[in-house]
Structure 1
Amino acid sequence: MIDESVLLESRTLRDSVLDRTDVLDRVKALSLLPDGMHVTTAMVAAYFDVGLEAVKSLIKDHRGELEANGYRLLIGEELRSFKDLSGIQSRTRSLAIFSRRAVLDVAMLLRDSDVARQVRAYLLDMEYLARAQPVENSVHRPADSLDARIDQRIDERITHILGRTVVPLFNALIETSGEHRRELIALRADVQRIERRLHRHRVRLQRMEMGAGNPLKALERRIPGV
């Protein structure tokens, strides 16, 4: 497993996973501005359950990287145009906005946030699975690996459904729930634990399949004493 500190310290690794913005909604519902594409600094702070100053400090330290991923400070005519297009009613003279990629970047840079840690955990799981994926080649794989591949595909499909549908649905329900909020949070945690177990199970299946598809390993099993 890739250590979390590597993701925090390596911009190269962060850049490699920035397209996986769907991870944000797996952890918690991300409220967007009326344009459906951006969030403000205050909204970023609310998403990660941190103070406004924590986000502002992060912007100061990593402004170039965040700007490369969709962070912008709007002023003047650009701000007026954005207000007109998005329907924002505000007299502010400047407005900092983040794209979803920029929010994901914040998740990979923000150390003292449980929500950010959960986002990083999903990203690290996905990156580990991608690196563990066996390289396709022309070597014939034994027939007994077929069941493992079928199980792997089933796991992938279930994980996709959990991550893209079930968890975001729980997020939406939690945002609007009243007396059942605690029960919904507990159920979401159970679903997320199942999703992570499926990730680990898939990794084990991939390792088994790689071992079965290695002709040297197969030869060693057939020759006693090797």
Structure 2
Amino acid sequence: MPPEGALLESHTLRVEHLGRVDALDKIKALVMLPDGIHVRTEDVARYFEVSTDAVRQLTARHRAELVENGMRVLRGADLRLYHSDMVSLWGAEAAKSYPQAATQLTLYTRRAVLNIAMLLRDSDIARCVRTYLLDAEDELRTGYTNLDRRVTDVEACLGGVGVALQELGPVLSRMSYRLDSLDRRLDATNQVVGAISNRLCQMSEDINRVDARVDDVVHQLRDLRRSRKRR
């Protein structure tokens, strides 16, 4: 992990971390204006526990970079419109204490404030924000390393499974052949059972016919005996 001071010197490194605006509230609560989007120079100075002059001097040295990340200066009609919007957001009573800039107002987004945290040297709060950013990056990198290691372990396990499946291939083939043989023998057995069943049905019909003939003979014998008795 690079030292937190590296962010002071490297514009490229600062750009890589500008999306982590959550780092601000991790170190200290940043109180926004009623619009929920901006803070003033005074608010930035209060957050970093430095003077407003320190913030203005830093802004003057890095104006182009800060403008890219949301800082803007309101004047004239834009300033009057912004004051009007703020008064409506604050409400009638609170608006009486709302401070209105006379000629211009510098506003900062969270992204711009984070940018200042990576540029401000003489602030313990800014130093803590920079350290938090780099620690979080190091934890993320460690997490990726652990994830890569787990993926490698899984791939190794899957490779072992592949070898086992290859070894099981011939065994499964033989089992499949034996099952096919059993299926054929079962079909033949079913055919034999079917033939026996048909034969038994025929024998049942023959027995029924014999029974009928026996009944006829018995009836004839009875009739014959009766006729003899009458004589």
User: Fold-level match, TM-score > 0.5?
Assistant: yes
- 8 Å CA contact retained: 1:83, 1:89: no
Render the CA deviation track for 1:142-187: whole Å, top value 9, x for unaligned. Answer: 69xxxxxxxxxxxxxxxxxxxxxxxxxxxxxxxxxxxxxxxxxxxx
Alignment partner, residue 104 of structure 2: 94
Find the counterpart in structure 2 of residue 104 from structure 1. 114
Alpha carbons 1:70, 1:99 under 8 Å: kept: yes
Q: Which residue of 1 aligns with 2:77?
A: 77
**Identity across aligned pairs (percent)?**
47
Letter in structure 1 aligned against 2:60: K
Q: Is the 8 A contact 1:2 1:128 kept in 2?
A: no
| Higher CA-based Rg | 2
What aligned pairs does 1:126-205 form with structure 2 within 5 A after superposition?
A: 126-132=136-142, 133-134=144-145, 136=148, 140-141=152-153
Contact 1:69/1:102 (<8 A) preserved:
yes
Partner secondary structure for residue 4 of structure 1 = coil
Q: Is 2:42 the partner of 1:39?
A: no
Partner secondary structure for residue 118 of structure 2: helix
Cα drift, residue 93 of structure 1: 1.4
Note the C-alpha offset of 1:85.
Answer: 2.0
Q: Is the 8 A contact 1:28 1:47 kept in 2?
A: yes
- TM-score, normalized by length of structure 2? 0.58
What is the aligned residue count?
146
Compared CA separation, residues 139 and 100, structure 1 to 2 (3 A): closer
Which residue number corresponds to residue 121 of structure 1? Answer: 131
- The change in CA–CA distance for 1:91 and 1:21 in structure 2 (over 3 A counts) is closer
CA distance in 2, matches of 1:33, 1:139: 47
1: CA distance, partners of 2:111 / 2:138 = 20
CA RMSD, Structure 1 to Structure 2 (Å):
2.6
Contact 1:37 1:99 in 2 (8 A): yes
The runs of at least 4 consecutive aligned structure 1 residues that moved more than 3 Å come to 135-140
Please name the residue that 1:9 is paired with.
9
Report which of the two has the higher share of helix: 2
> For residues 105 and 2 of structure 1, what CA distance do their matches in structure 2 show?
18
CA apart distance, 1:42: 0.7
